[in-house]
Structure 1
Amino acid sequence: MALSKASLALVLALFSAKSLQAPTQSTVNACNAISKAIPGKLFSPGSSGYKEENEDYWNAGLSDLKPACILKPTTPQEVGKAFQVLGEFTDVNFSVKSGGHDPNPGHSSSQDGVLIALSKIKGTTYDKATNLAQVKPGGQWADVVGPLEKFGVTAVGGRLDVVGIGGYLAGGGLSFLSAQYGMAADSIVGWELVTANGSVINVDAKTQPDLAVALRGGGNQYGVTTKFSIEAHPIGKVWGGIRIYAGWAEQEVFAALHDFIGNNNKDPKAAVIVNSNKLVSGVAIYMIFFFYDAPEAPKGAFGKFEDISDLLDMTGTYTYPELLTKNSMGADSLSNRASFRSITLPRIPSRPQFYREIEAQWETIFKDYAQSHPGSIVVIAFQPFPAILAKNSASRGSNSMGLTANDKDRFVLEITGQWSSADDDNTIWDLSKQLTDWIEEQIPQVTTPESEQYLPLFMNDAAFSQDVFGSYKDVEKFRALQKEMDPTGFFSKRAGGFNV
């Protein structure tokens, strides 16, 4: 989709020298009013509490953005009080932060505005009688799978344990378990939601199905969730890990990927992510994440992948939390700037070369940058989004993406960049956009009647400049509901994140 001029201007302003000025008097007054309403939990620049929170981002570049103050509430009522205060200062913008994994500037970060960090609203409990996990948004996915493990259950969730909780669930969430149970948000049956006027309400998927669908993949446009009620699923020892393959095995890798997506419905316990790392420091490899929901994967579960010789095999049998920790090794230790950009694409049965065509164009676009910046990391990930996932989503009431039981196979392409210098921000954003622009031009030419035509963006992997809600087929319905929930535009006009 085209880069929004407004979105680009906003982000450029966030990182420009002009934005690095003192907060407005109105913002200072808002911070003071919040501090008075919620004593002892507001932190100003220079304090240890401020520094700790503002440096806790997966995208280290977000720490360059300096909020006027940071609130660390411990209850939903305190979040509500903050919203009520901010309601009196209509020219003050704010952002809400959960785990800090969203790399988009201004989503969970703020320059000269108010940052509400949910890091103290955390914890996971399980009720065996209802089979529901109560999950609070602060922390990372390790804070969910760890407490649930002793009960022999888990929640559909992150494939790395360093992924944040609140933003992941609000964005929909792809999981190793998605072919079995749908997206992570599809298993949410209740929300403790703080609305624009500061009220704390409880949303029940059974009695409020329209709002439930909107909240599954709707970001923060209807309110801020301070507790999720999530249907738990059985889990025991699992098999998985990473295998490394030579870059010259591209034909075999992509043939296996094409075959796997088309046959995932035959064994939904199996999952893969194919990362092309061909431009990382001149090391041409594929890094493939494997997962199987059992202690051992039966022969044939991964189809043609099983016929490819690997360079390094790091797969094995683990507890589910152990595997997610193993997958995360190094993911949070680079202290780099980072970005995501994404596009949802059809599996075209008659075009198994489509993946390689995308990879070749990515190499063409990024090659010069990668060669001149050997310390930077640019990767594309091919993530299966099979028809069985959509079918399971629909059976649970579906989500904002509008998935149905009749959907055909898709995959989600994620473009990830990690680099060290702020001077490269615009370059990475632009190169990533060049790739998705090129792909969008190809889709009408290569798509066939037997492939999926509806291609909604996946919010968790999207860039700030992409119109996620505009890609949803029910966007007008969501806009009307958002206006009903938030008539003054408290979230849609003033909060960080994707706007409906």
Structure 2
Amino acid sequence: MARLILSSFVLLAVTQLALALDASPLGNYARVCSQIARIVAPSPVYYPGSPNFQWLSSHWSGSSSQLSACVVEPRSASDVSKILAQHEPHLPGGHTANPGFSSTKGVHISLNSLRSIRYDRFSKTVEFGTGVIWDDVYAALEPYGVSVVGGRNTGVGVGGFTLGGGYSWKTNQLGLTIDTVTAFELVKPNGDVVTVTERSDPKLFFALKGSQNNFGIVTKITLKTFPQGPVWGGMITYVGDEPIAAARAATAKFANGVSDPKASIINSFILSQGTPLVVLQLYYDGPRPPAGIFKDFLDIPAAATDVSTRSYISFVQSVPVNASYGVRGYFEAIPVTKYTPKFLDLVSNTLASTSAEFANTSYLSTSVAIEPFLPTIYSHNTTPSAYPFDRSKVFQPCNLAMSWTNPAEDKIFEQGIKKVRDTLYAGLIEEGQTETRTAPLYSNNAIWDTSFTRIYGSNLPVLKTLKAQVDPSNVMGLAGGFKIPI
């Protein structure tokens, strides 16, 4: 049985939405590669040893990569449709950097060539193919003085980021990325290519906003645009006990005291090969922040700083996340009700203990990204969405990450990241944040064995009904990822 895996390079992606097609259990990969090549010609098919094969099948997280039999690069939604129609009902999907979610030992289908970007001045929207990264979208829109609610770091793919929800530097002002979508071009599991909008198919439009790859393959996305001028911000690095303690205090104060929707931060507490440090990203959606709003951070002695008034794309590209391309790594999501000083102290103390635990391994780092948002971010949405399944209360995203280099140690670090996660959960519950155990979990960060009930929650019944209608053969259910059961 052939099988397809829809994948998206989410947080720190270096390419784009992708698919993979496994050959039959008999392992006749060469036959399937040839068959695909005939179906989609002249779209190219690449094999191991080709530079294009290496690039298109690689992942930001090395632990997500597998050696495929070949990579096919369809150049249109029609090509994708031909593949689905030819191999239906043997198609699945996947997402994020989780092992097996976005790679295959069979035939990998990359959407890299779907790179069109078109800005419509009349409707103030931008339509782009899911082969682009957010940097491409920002660069294309900059001459028009507009931007979108998109990814926060360089190299992030648009597809999986959007379909999972999308937290942006503009989320305090405008909501999640899915709250600004006006249309999806979707290749359904039966091969039909359709444009899905709130008017044309409100149920499917709802489902695509947060359910990842469960309903087919999205090949284009249309977003609202918003005026964009120069912004202020950049990266600051703190090293040493006193600066890090001051950064914890400033982070708690900012998270619980700053209400200006133009202001935002990501503060990553990191243990890197035994050295604790903090990497802070400051953002203000304007050329200068109000006096004092970031003063506590700016007063801390910094090991390095890169904060200035700059273009939006310059700001997004100011943090060199791709410097760690190719290392092995896992992510985990932890929803937080409130970033308290006690919790931030626990983060630092927990990170400090991990170095000794992984002595004599290829351990590189553990990080916890603190991402405070305003309690009003879900109010910007005017139509329902699959994520989050409960908009009555905002849980702050908190992303845990761990990295290493030796493939033989993957299981060690799976256990390690879960141990850190459980320690942080226990601390939140101890201080009364008991809802964190049942809160909506952000699928773009969640580790692979998370229960789908934590992803879809109370939306699951309606999603299951729609899934049975759109994909009665459960084609996408053969995929990796957080699947909606029928």
TM-score category (smaller protein): 0.7 to 0.9
CA pair 226-475 structure 1, distance change in 2 beyond 3 A = same
* Match among 438, 449, 459 for residue 423 of structure 2: 438
Question: Is 1:296 matched with 2:297?
Answer: no
Partner of residue 455, structure 1: 439
* Match among 368, 371, 394 for residue 383 of structure 1: 371
Contact 2:364 2:405 in 1 (8 A): yes
Structure 1 residue 178 displacement after superposition = 0.8
Aligned partner of residue 232 in structure 2, secondary structure: strand
Q: How does 1:15-414 map to 2 (within 5 A)?
A: 24-25=26-27, 28-41=30-43, 43=45, 45-46=47-48, 48=50, 51-63=53-65, 65-87=66-88, 90=90, 95=93, 102-111=96-105, 113-248=106-241, 249-264=243-258, 266-277=259-270, 279-302=271-294, 304-327=296-319, 329=320, 331-332=322-323, 334-347=325-338, 351-364=340-353, 366-369=354-357, 371-373=359-361, 376-392=364-380, 394-395=381-382, 397-404=384-391, 406-408=392-394, 410-414=395-399
- In the superposition, the TM-score normalised over structure 1's length comes to 0.84
Aligned partner of residue 314 in structure 1, secondary structure: strand
Structure 1: any 5+ residue segments left out of the alignment?
Answer: 1-19
AA of the residue aligned to 2:393: D
Aligned partner of residue 413 in structure 2, secondary structure: helix
Residues in 2 aligned to 1:339 and 1:413: alpha-carbon distance in whole angstroms: 14
Partner of residue 3, structure 2: none
AA of the residue aligned to 2:364: S
Residues in 2 aligned to 1:428 and 1:184: alpha-carbon distance in whole angstroms: 31
Residues in 2 aligned to 1:302 and 1:296: alpha-carbon distance in whole angstroms: 11
Residues in 2 aligned to 1:81 and 1:202: alpha-carbon distance in whole angstroms: 17
Partner of residue 9, structure 1: none
Structure 2: any 5+ residue segments left out of the alignment?
Answer: 1-21
Aligned partner of residue 36 in structure 1, secondary structure: helix
CA pair 23-420 structure 1, distance change in 2 beyond 3 A = farther
CA pair 53-85 structure 1, distance change in 2 beyond 3 A = farther
Contact 1:407 1:452 in 2 (8 A): no
Structure 1 residue 42 displacement after superposition = 5.0
Contact 1:95 1:109 in 2 (8 A): no
CA pair 336-185 structure 1, distance change in 2 beyond 3 A = same
CA pair 23-59 structure 1, distance change in 2 beyond 3 A = farther
Structure 1 residue 81 displacement after superposition = 0.6
Q: How does 1:482-493 map to 2 (within 5 A)?
A: 482-492=467-477
- How many positions carry a matched residue from both structures? 461
Equivalent pairs: percent with the same residue?
25
Structure 1 residue 195 displacement after superposition = 0.6
Residues in 1 aligned to 2:187 and 2:264: alpha-carbon distance in whole angstroms: 35
Contact 1:54 1:66 in 2 (8 A): no
How large is the Cα RMSD of the aligned pairs?
Answer: 2.7
Contact 1:259 1:303 in 2 (8 A): no
Residues in 2 aligned to 1:49 and 1:82: alpha-carbon distance in whole angstroms: 24
Structure 1 residue 362 displacement after superposition = 3.7
CA pair 49-84 structure 1, distance change in 2 beyond 3 A = farther
Contact 1:96 1:117 in 2 (8 A): no
Structure 1 residue 255 displacement after superposition = 2.8
